[in-house]
Structure 1
Amino acid sequence: MKDFPSCFGENGVQVADSSTSKTAQNLVTCVYQCRVHGRSCLITVTWSKNLMGQGLSVGIDDSSNQCLCKVDVKPWMFSKRRGCKSLEAFSCKIDVFWDLSSAKFGTGPEPLQGFYVGVVVDRQMVLLLGDLRREAFKKSNAMPLHSNAVLVGKKEHVSGKKLYGTKAVFCDNGRVHDLVIECDTASGNDPCLVIRLDSKTVMQVKRLRWKFRGNHTILVDGLAVEVFWDVHNWLFSTASLADAVFMFKTCLSSDRLWATQSLSNANLLQSSFSERFSDTRLQGLGFSLILYAWKNM
């Protein structure tokens, strides 16, 4: 099954599924939509972390999810913490610049500060990540575009025993929200699933053993956000490491898309997102976050 976007296939970075070992779970994949020479494209940035260190991958897809080019920086030694690679797509030159030599990391694979990653097309900066903006423009000798790339999708892996948290922005230039999922399956009682946003409870699912899959709509920043959950493995798996999958999808249209589809298993939730991601974004239908929550038994 293809992951999103298709650029990261067999030879790229794979996002873990339920059979993946614990060491492979520290991955965050972000998808940005931008325009290159008047054509819509998706830029995927994947941050990884394992025993070898930090890794970075950048891929560019066209609007049909066809991979045009990619850069894969494997967990590096110090000499590879900065660099540049030139590629070609859309009949133009594409340069990917990065400098993480002074980057500061938290517990996850994404750097917090002291870094930049830039994608330059014919000397125009179409995507720039990080706080070292001045250094990035100086190194690349690029000019900024009037229209910035927009974050349209994110896939993340988190682990814990009861609490699973991340940060999320659900609309362009929106607030950064603290998102926490709480579920205690260790007790003998039928567990309850609670989702909090900025410490406020926005969703609660009781009798979870009967409602281990489903969907519900919440409001965030005035937007309707559809929440899908599948916690079957948390409740019924005998593995030492079990995962649940959640998706948060903003709905900017009266069309609920595929929200009414039944979620038969976690793979369906993943494939629905990966197969329809490009089309829904091109229709202007918002942002999607997939969160894999791994329970340490």
Structure 2
Amino acid sequence: MGQSMTMVIDDATFCKVEVKPWLFAKRKGCRAIDINGCDKVEVYWDLFSARYGSGPEPLDGYYIALVVDREMVLLLGDLRKEAFRKTNSSSLGSSSVFLAKREHILSRSVYCTKARFRDNGRIHDIAIECETAGLVEPRLSVRIDEKMVLQVKRLAWKFRGNQTVLVDGLPVEIFWDVHNWLFGHVIGSAVFMFRTAMSVELSSNDSFSDLSPVSRWQTLKERKPQASLGFSLILYAWKNE
């Protein structure tokens, strides 16, 4: 069992690489891909010396690069010099921005992950817990760095909603949808979104602020993360019964 890296462009999968845990497994390489007749498009990766924490993403010692017609258009990781040397490409025309992250987490009771809410900010521990056993009314709690930032009581009536909290002085809006946990199929997932900023269009739209929490949540789910000026973390939480 290992990890995989998948590249998706315009909702179509163009590149998927399996990273095996074996000692002599190939963890670096390149692949040419065809995207609607564009100029030469290549994906380069080097995960040979990558160092991992508790999550699936490498912390350092790696690079993943997307090169179009010998121009670097996307570069992830800290081995920047190695990436440019390997690809023999020109420098980035502009800095890339981390817009969104999607993650699937599996647990019996407490769902944990890590996230950075601003560029060069520190990594925060996030823990989500839904308490149902022995309670007349289920309740939901969210902790960031072991500090309770959100608690929802009478969850059967508030299974969808949103609330803004402060993390490092930055407003972070938390949306939750736990309908599947309470009323749906046993294998259904709950969905959580941590969003650091609203899009210019939404934040300036008075009609959006007048919507109910449920309607706001549905509106945001239907919009693409690229519409935001901030960062969005989307979590799919699955019960491991």
Paired residue type of 1:289: L
Paired residue type of 2:14: K
Residue aligning to 2:191: 245
Q: Is the contact made by 2:165 and 2:171 (CA closer than 8 Å) also made in structure 1?
A: yes
Pairs within 5 Å for 1:1-297? 51=1, 53-61=2-10, 70-74=14-18, 80-87=26-33, 91-106=38-53, 108-145=55-92, 147-237=94-184, 239=186, 241-252=187-198, 253=200, 254-255=203-204, 260=211, 263=214, 269=218, 272-273=220-221, 275-277=222-224, 280-281=227-228, 284=229, 286-297=230-241
Secondary structure at the counterpart of residue 98 of structure 1: strand
Paired residue type of 1:198: D
- TM value normalised by structure 1: 0.66
- TM value normalised by structure 2: 0.79
Number of residue pairs the alignment of both structures matches: 232
CA drift at 1:294: 1.2
Cα RMSD, aligned residues only: 3.1
CA drift at 1:193: 1.1
1: CA distance, partners of 2:106 / 2:208: 28
CA drift at 1:149: 0.9
Q: Is the contact made by 1:242 and 1:296 (CA closer than 8 Å) also made in structure 2?
A: no
Q: Is the contact made by 1:185 and 1:235 (CA closer than 8 Å) also made in structure 2?
A: no
Q: Is the contact made by 1:161 and 1:184 (CA closer than 8 Å) also made in structure 2?
A: no
CA drift at 1:173: 3.4
Name the % identity.
52
Return the index of the structure with the highest Cα Rg.
2
